[in-house]
Structure 1
Amino acid sequence: MVDGQHAAINDTPFEILGTPQKGGFLIVGDHASNRVPVDIDLGIDPALLSAHIAWDIGVTEVARLIIQDARFAAYLGGYSRLVVDLNRDAHDAAAIPTHSDGVVIPGNDLGPQEEEERLERFFWPYHTYLAQLLSQHRPALILSLHSFTPALESTPQEVRPWEFGVLYNEQEKASKLAIPFLENAGYIVGDQLPYSGKLLNATMNRHAEANNIPYIGIEMRQDVSSDPDGQARYARTLAEMCHFVSEQLGLSI
């Protein structure tokens, strides 16, 4: 069963907020949590679990605000991206990262059997259940929600001025409507920035594009999405954006 207001699914790597509904909006947040299971030692300073390498800061808080509109629900990853990166193909080397933004993660130096066990425990249940949810409650529009750090430790010279990044792969229509909407709302918007959805779009490729479900890939700027006022502003904007795009696409919400 995939319904349930603010229902956490015990012992599985995801959380559902709100009630998913056919023809509604579904937020998907692959990197919403920084939790690490007690039986996994990543071998890093625990303070790093609060940093951007461990999760997409602000995603859960923004999602909780958006789903106050009952037409939205959210499906959020329940463990840190350092445990397994859900927005990768299963056997991508970065699915169980051994380094991130200059930080070595010695606890992820695993043998083939250990890698498969990690994937079976966290990666496959997340994607299997999301596939079931989309089949049972096919949304009209998916909001793929991530956040990005304003400056990488490994490349501090790179300027990242955007307040939103909009990402997409083959299915462009919804995102191409979202970009001018956000610009007209006064935001600095990166079209396929801070990186391209043509290169990193695994979850949406698997679940949205493969099933012809319209989606918008959003990257929020973390110095905004970490602040309560910024979270409230982002939530209002993104909810309005989803309604606008759905209207423009002729979707019934």
Structure 2
Amino acid sequence: MSLSDSTARSEAYEVSNGAGRGGAVILCEHASHHIPPRYGDLGLAEADRQSHAAWDPGACAVARLLSDALDAPLIASKVSRLVYDCNRPPEAASAMPEKSEVIEVPGNTNLTQDQRDERVATVYTPFCEAVSQVIATRKAAGLTTALITIHSFTPVYYGSPRSVEIGILHDSDSRLADAMLDHASALPDREISRNDPYGPEDGVTHSLQLHGLQNGLANVMIEVRNDLLRTPEEEAQIAEELMTLIRPALAATQPTGGAGA
């Protein structure tokens, strides 16, 4: 596989615009609800296999639009997070969850160590290696890189409505998040919050830690409420709004340039 190709694919991930030279690399760890045939249906009803428990609806579409706007490589998982959540380390129970909110996942109950190791080796490790290769290739080319991960979340969680519409999440490095939030007033009709509806204490910043912090990259995780992403038109609107925050934030955190077109 050559990441200089416009698109590189494996069973576990897809790299789009791998040769992009803009100032960011974009991840979408929950891009797909696909369950490879070797895992059956995980004991789930069809509705549950299509639900937010299995993926982040709208997230990959927004990530692709941002990739185009920023001329940024995009690495997207092609396997449901119920098989393996690529935003969790192998030791985390939520990497292969037995339950997602109110949905039980029978196919993840009582997994043997060999079964867990197989999922790590065939889903998580290839995804992480693809991200590392993209970042290393860009570093060798002298390109400035910020890491942006794109997610969506449900408007109701355990019966409680969520008012936040866009969450700007960070771990110990808040440079990019701070710069984005500095421009939140440009979207006065949106409820935008820091580390909401999730934060580092919820174990959601694994990708930021592994691919961002460990490489010294400015990084941010963006969460969009998924009732704002029901149609291609809504996805395009949100992508445009996010660019209102991202473009000046990249300029502020990358003073030598590289923020993309």
Letter in 1 for 2:28: G
**CA positional deviation for 1:19:** 3.0
User: Which of residues 161, 167, 170 in structure 1 aligns to 2:169?
Assistant: 167
Deviation string, structure 1 residues 29-59 (Cα, Å, up to 9, x no partner): 1101111101212000022122110101101
Aligned residues: 248
User: Which of residues 184, 191, 204 in structure 2 aligns to 1:188?
Assistant: 191
> 4+ residue stretches of structure 1 with deviation over 6 A?
none
CA distance in 2 between counterparts of 1:203 and 1:63 reads 15
> Measured at CA, do residues 231 and 185 of structure 1 come closer, stay the same or move farther in structure 2, by a change above 3 Å?
same
1:79 and 2:79 matched: yes
Correspondence 1:1-253 to 2 at 5 A:
1-5=2-6, 7-11=7-11, 13-21=12-20, 24-41=23-40, 42-69=42-69, 71-109=71-109, 110-138=111-139, 139-152=144-157, 155-156=158-159, 158-186=160-188, 187-199=190-202, 200-249=204-253, 250-253=255-258
**CA positional deviation for 1:68:** 2.8
The answer to whether the 8 A contact 1:18-1:70 is kept is: no
Deviation string, structure 1 residues 203-238 (Cα, Å, up to 9, x no partner): 110010111111121001100123222201111122
CA distance in 1 between counterparts of 2:256 and 2:223 reads 23
The answer to whether the 8 A contact 2:23-2:250 is kept is: no
Q: Which runs of 5+ in 2 are unaligned?
A: none
| TM-score, reference length from structure 2 | 0.89
> Measured at CA, do residues 22 and 198 of structure 1 come closer, stay the same or move farther in structure 2, by a change above 3 Å?
farther
**CA positional deviation for 1:117:** 1.1
CA distance in 1 between counterparts of 2:70 and 2:169 reads 25
Letter in 1 for 2:62: V
CA distance in 2 between counterparts of 1:59 and 1:128 reads 21
Identity of aligned residues (%): 25
**CA positional deviation for 1:17:** 1.6
Equivalent position SS for 1:241: helix
Deviation string, structure 1 residues 86-139 (Cα, Å, up to 9, x no partner): 111111111111110111111112111111111111111111221121111245
> Measured at CA, do residues 229 and 182 of structure 1 come closer, stay the same or move farther in structure 2, by a change above 3 Å?
farther
The answer to whether the 8 A contact 1:31-1:56 is kept is: yes
CA distance in 1 between counterparts of 2:70 and 2:249 reads 17
Letter in 1 for 2:3: V
| TM-score, reference length from structure 1 | 0.92
**CA positional deviation for 1:70:** 5.6
C-alpha RMSD of matched pairs (Å): 1.6
Q: Which runs of 5+ in 1 are unaligned?
A: none
Equivalent position SS for 1:193: coil
The answer to whether the 8 A contact 1:87-1:201 is kept is: yes
Letter in 2 for 1:116: D
Deviates more, 1:111-120 or 1:68-77: 68-77
